[in-house]
Amino acid sequence: MKKYLALKASAGSGKTFALTVRYITLLLKGATPKEILTLTFTNKAANEMSERIYKTLLSLGEDEAYLNAIALESELSKEQILSKKSYLVNLFSNAALSIFTIDKFVNKILREFSGYAGINDDFEIKEDDVEKLSSKFLESLSLEEFDKLIDFSLFENKKYNSIFEVFKNMFEKAETIDVVNIDLSLIEIQKKEALQEALKIKEFILNCPNASNSAIKAVDYENFEELISKKWLEKDRAEEYSYFKKCSNELLEEFFSKTKEEVGNYYKLRSAFSLSRLFELYNLFKEYKRRYNSSKNYLHFDDISNICYELLSTKIDKEFLYFRLDSNFSHILIDEFQDTSLLQYKILKPLIEEILSSSEFKTFFYVGDTKQSIYRFRGGKRELFDYVLKTNPMVNVEVLNTNYRSCEQVVNYVNQAFNKLNSYEYHDQISVHKDGYVEVFEDEALLSEEKYENIAKKISELMQKGVNSNDIAILTYTNDDVLNLYSYLKKMFPSLKISTEMTSKLINQENVKAIINAIKYLYFQEGIYKENLNAIIGKAPESSFELNIDLKYRSVQESVLKIAQFLNVTDDNVMKFVELCSSYKNIVDFVYEIDELDASIENSEQVGLQILTIFKSKGLEFHTVLLLDRIKQKVANRDYLLFEYDNVNLKNIYYKIGGLDNYSIEYKEALKKEKALEFEDELNILYVAMTRAKKNMIIFKKKEKSVFDLLDLKIAALGEVIKSDNKTKNYEKSEKVIYKALDLGKQEKPIKVEEDNDNAYTLHAKYFGIATHFCLEMMNNFDEKSLHLAINLVKNRYSNYLDESDIANIKARVFQLIAHEEFLALTSNANYSKEQSLIYKGELKIIDLLVEKEGKYFIFDYKTTRDELQEHIEQVSHYEKAIKNILVNDEVYSFIIYLNEKGVKLKKV
């Protein structure tokens, strides 16, 4: 095993495999889980990582590939490894793990050293309330400071809101410059001087008998601003401007070059001035934000990394940090390294350096793929990957170029598309799976009204050819495309299940929006809200809204629910909304604060055809991928500032001004560099998109202005469509929220949803149920030891949704089950399978637990609700019938297990 290793892992080349193998090897070499710091980017990835390691340990020996790789890495024999299996399982499942997201880790450091930063260690983590923060900041300014802000705003012609937005951007970057004071009057003088020279050009042209109308129009400036809007100023010489050509002589060229010189001086002065002023204001803001945060005792994620970095670079010694951290990390594993931001790396650096310089057994490993770096816009710095290698020669590098994900046709197609680009570092991948299907389809419909016509056609064609709709994913560039495509396909195939993985705000979801507008209408009595409502729910304009409801005498929750019912718009999102409304004390708070609610929408249906953005698809794979061209044009980068880096070191910060590139070579170079990076981003997005498909990939390309022109993709159809494998799991079990009216009691009594978790079908109850099922699914045997292991997995996976007491609750319930005599009698010495899926009469069913004992079959279905509903019995007897039919066996018995806190009830059906 290489102690220090950087792994370049192309898409589908077994990155998680490598991480898992390394982790287990470290355990075999005597490391404890606590000292192996494993960093990922999302909670999802962190959960998946620990689950993957656990499952691999549990099934150690079954998968040859894993065993071989671990043997190779650890230099132990397979027998030696297998003899330690139960020890490893125990070790891993009973220890505190150090598998975190980077943000969680940074947060952890800050809390441990909060005293040195002068903050409380019990701070909350929250989003900033931008409106409040920006207005409070204004109030905090002295008259003089306030004037500076106003001057800047007027001078730059920028609104306060947009300036404030820039502050946030600067905050993220955490870079500073020395502020120099430049007097505004200097700029005014420079403007006058430039205009004076330019007026000589104007006079010259107007006096030139050959001047065309266009030439005369080109000199119609009265002031400096009009002057610099002229295109001809970009030329090097006057004669290069065709409308001036006929009048060009040496005198004109002299005026021209003099004007350009003066304008150039203006630009230089101006960019330095604006940059300084902006940073001056920003520093004020930064100071204020610190005060504001500490008074409210909360921090934003950006604050956390900012303060943490400041702490490390000024107040605490690196050695001190390392030895004071509550756990000593001897091993570091970093996933998706290409997405690490500069600031995050700077924070991790002392820990990495400590490992690299230690004489003990300490290791450092990072894995990533710069081709998949698509998050530069939020700080990801792909240059870091090679920079760390270059600056630490003891770190080895290995490249994974075998693709275990996609079929031959797909791999080859991607190879030929990317390896011909000369400005792109690409190494051909080797495929291991044969066949596959690639089609590039020039879709003229994409530019017309019926945009998605051909996509719908293709979907039905694929389904006819035997591709399961659950195996299809459609990838798009924007969330907007996801939504549009979703509603189109829903219209075309009403019974098709479609899921959209999106993160949009809950308050923007149609049904929720309808409710908000209804309430605002009832409260403010302003027609605009009623018309919004009519538009959303598809009523004719001016339709009336008649609901007799007294907002004042009901709780907010109650009103929201009543209105939802009245409008008939109750769904998962509305349910979540109802829950969140409990935080509003009264209707006044609600109408004024609801627009700031930051919660995200629920992913409605988790089964079916998937539509998602390419960004979201990163790290995922699909049987069949339909890849959509960029529908709308890309927007221009509207940042005020241009950060120029030399690899990872800040070289310069520029205040962006249109036209400055004509006068400053350095600025021009910086712009060019930025453009090259943007171009690389674009290629990376394409790379990510084209490496998601396992079997079939179909590209819908616009006839003109297609992003695929970057790769010069031609119309093609290669190979044969591969059918869905019958064994593919085409149903992801999740308990759908069954909507049931909450018992609201009488009007005078405000409702409390959280009072009775057992009966209300809240989201909390939903997660509780799923987690309980997950716990039972993860148990190898129905004994205490298995429960103990499984409950740890539940903790890792559901800690975001459930708290400690919930976990304890689940444990207690399951504990009672494994102590239940009848249940134990039925399951002991029997064969059983969990989450058994079966297809019966065209419908897919999942049985929680199926037990086979002495030729008899027992079906078990877990419920975490207290209610015993007829519906449960019907569901289970349906399973019973199906099993009897399929197995041709009459000895099938079914049970519903009600897992309650007070006791377990086994109900025979």
Partner DNA sequence: CAGTATGACATTTTT
Partner DNA sequence: TGTCATACTG
Q: Does 890 bind DNA (CB under 7 A)?
A: no
**Cβ closer to DNA: 241 or 292?**
241
Question: Is 386 strand, coil or helix?
Answer: helix
Tell me which of 3, 55, 85, 104 binds DNA, using CB under 7 A: 104
Q: Does 477 bind DNA (CB under 7 A)?
A: yes
Residue 854 CA to residue 852 CA, distance in Å, equals 7
Q: Does 491 bind DNA (CB under 7 A)?
A: no
| Tally of CB atoms within 10 A around 89 | 17
Q: Does 480 bind DNA (CB under 7 A)?
A: yes
Give Cα separations from 500 to 374, 609, 647 (angstroms).
21, 8, 37
Q: What are the φ and ψ backbone dihedral angles of 137, each rounded to 5 degrees?
A: -60, -45
Q: Is 431 annotated as a binding residue?
A: no
Q: Is 61 annotated as a binding residue?
A: no
Q: Does 541 bind DNA (CB under 7 A)?
A: no
Helix (H) or strand (E) holding 456, with range, is helix 453-464
Q: Is 65 annotated as a binding residue?
A: no
Residue with tokens 């400005």: 423
Contact yes or no for 632/482 (Cβ under 8 A):
no
Q: Does 638 bind DNA (CB under 7 A)?
A: yes
Structure tokens at 362: 């300490």
**Cβ closer to DNA: 304 or 897?**
304
Stretch in the footprint of DNA (CB under 7 A) among 278-286, 358-366, 471-479, 785-793: 471-479
Q: Does 223 bind DNA (CB under 7 A)?
A: no
**Cβ closer to DNA: 488 or 893?**
488
Nearest to 880 by CA among 862, 865, 895, 867: 895
Q: Does 621 bind DNA (CB under 7 A)?
A: no
Q: Is 14 annotated as a binding residue?
A: yes
**Cβ closer to DNA: 744 or 763?**
763
For residues 71-85, one letter each, b for 16 or more C-beta atoms within 10 angstroms of the residue's C-beta and e for the rest, the string is: bebbebeeeebeebe
Q: Does 214 bind DNA (CB under 7 A)?
A: yes
Q: Does 454 bind DNA (CB under 7 A)?
A: no
**Cβ closer to DNA: 344 or 517?**
344
Residue 169 CA to residue 715 CA, distance in Å, equals 42
Helix (H) or strand (E) holding 402, with range, is strand 402-407
Q: Is 9 annotated as a binding residue?
A: yes
Residue 848 CA to residue 211 CA, distance in Å, equals 87
Q: Does 632 bind DNA (CB under 7 A)?
A: yes
Structure tokens at 257: 């070059």
Q: What are the φ and ψ backbone dihedral angles of 66, each rounded to 5 degrees?
A: -65, -50
Nearest to 482 by CA among 471, 470, 473: 473
Residue 414 CA to residue 401 CA, distance in Å, equals 13
Q: Does 700 bind DNA (CB under 7 A)?
A: no
**Cβ closer to DNA: 170 or 374?**
374
Q: Is 476 annotated as a binding residue?
A: no
Report the half-sphere exposure of 312 (CA within 13 A, side-chain side): 24
Give Cα separations from 211 to 205, 219, 826 (angstroms).
6, 11, 102
Residue 222 CA to residue 220 CA, distance in Å, equals 7
Nearest distance in Å: CB 633, DNA: 6
Helix (H) or strand (E) holding 88, with range, is helix 85-94
Q: Does 712 bind DNA (CB under 7 A)?
A: no
Residue 584 CA to residue 581 CA, distance in Å, equals 6
Looking only at residues 292 through 321 of this chain, which bind DNA when binding is defined by CB under 7 A? Answer: 301
**Cβ closer to DNA: 491 or 675?**
675
Tell me which of 5, 26, 198, 215 binds DNA, using CB under 7 A: 215
Stretch in the footprint of DNA (CB under 7 A) among 209-217, 315-323, 443-451, 740-748: 209-217
Q: Does 672 bind DNA (CB under 7 A)?
A: no
Q: Does 679 bind DNA (CB under 7 A)?
A: no
Q: Does 705 bind DNA (CB under 7 A)?
A: yes
Residue with tokens 């549990």: 58
Question: Is 326 strand, coil or helix?
Answer: coil
Contact yes or no for 479/504 (Cβ under 8 A):
yes
Stretch in the footprint of DNA (CB under 7 A) among 87-95, 328-336, 408-416, 478-486: 478-486
Stretch in the footprint of DNA (CB under 7 A) among 134-142, 226-234, 348-356, 834-842: 226-234
The residues facing 896 across adjacent strands are 861, 907
Nearest to 492 by CA among 628, 609, 631: 609
Stretch in the footprint of DNA (CB under 7 A) among 109-117, 175-183, 212-220, 731-739: 212-220
Tell me which of 637, 747, 780, 828 binds DNA, using CB under 7 A: 637
Tell me which of 185, 213, 314, 829 binds DNA, using CB under 7 A: 213
Report the half-sphere exposure of 644 (CA within 13 A, side-chain side): 14
Residue 334 CA to residue 215 CA, distance in Å, equals 62
Q: Does 154 bind DNA (CB under 7 A)?
A: no
**Cβ closer to DNA: 171 or 545?**
171
Nearest to 615 by CA among 235, 339, 904: 339
Binding mask 36-55 for DNA (x = CB under 7 A): -----xxxx-----------
Tell me which of 20, 613, 730, 772 binds DNA, using CB under 7 A: 613
Q: Does 231 bind DNA (CB under 7 A)?
A: yes
Q: Does 866 bind DNA (CB under 7 A)?
A: no
**Cβ closer to DNA: 568 or 633?**
633
Nearest distance in Å: CB 669, DNA: 15
How many residues touch DNA (CB under 7 A)? 50
**Cβ closer to DNA: 437 or 622?**
622
Residue 858 CA to residue 879 CA, distance in Å, equals 11
Nearest distance in Å: CB 9, DNA: 20
In sign, the C-alpha dihedral spanning 760, 766, 771, 773 is: positive
Stretch in the footprint of DNA (CB under 7 A) among 551-559, 581-589, 626-634, 735-743: 626-634
Complete edge-to-edge strand list for the sheet that includes strand 716-719 = 498-501, 609-613, 472-476, 622-628, 693-701, 437-442, 716-719
**Cβ closer to DNA: 60 or 631?**
631
**Cβ closer to DNA: 104 or 324?**
104
Report the half-sphere exposure of 839 (CA within 13 A, side-chain side): 7
Burial of residue 420 (number of CB atoms within 10 Å: 0-12, 13-18, 19+): exposed
Q: Does 159 bind DNA (CB under 7 A)?
A: no
Question: Is 862 strand, coil or helix?
Answer: strand
Q: Is 16 annotated as a binding residue?
A: yes
Tell me which of 64, 250, 326, 704 binds DNA, using CB under 7 A: 704
Binding mask 566-605 for DNA (x = CB under 7 A): ----------------------------------------
Q: Does 633 bind DNA (CB under 7 A)?
A: yes
Q: Is 42 annotated as a binding residue?
A: no
Nearest distance in Å: CB 260, DNA: 15
DSSP label of 641: E
Nearest distance in Å: CB 885, DNA: 44
Alpha helices in 311-403 (DSSP H): 318-324, 342-357, 383-391
Residue with tokens 């931001």: 341
Stretch in the footprint of DNA (CB under 7 A) among 238-246, 530-538, 829-837, 867-875: 238-246
Q: Does 634 bind DNA (CB under 7 A)?
A: yes
Q: Does 484 bind DNA (CB under 7 A)?
A: no
Residue 628 CA to residue 452 CA, distance in Å, equals 10
Cα 708–chain centre separation:
24
Binding site for DNA (CB under 7 A): 41-44, 101, 103-104, 127, 212-215, 217-218, 230-232, 235, 240-243, 246, 301, 374-375, 377-378, 477-480, 502-503, 613, 615-616, 632-638, 656-658, 675, 704-705
Annotated binding site: 9-16
Annotated binding site for ATP: 9-16
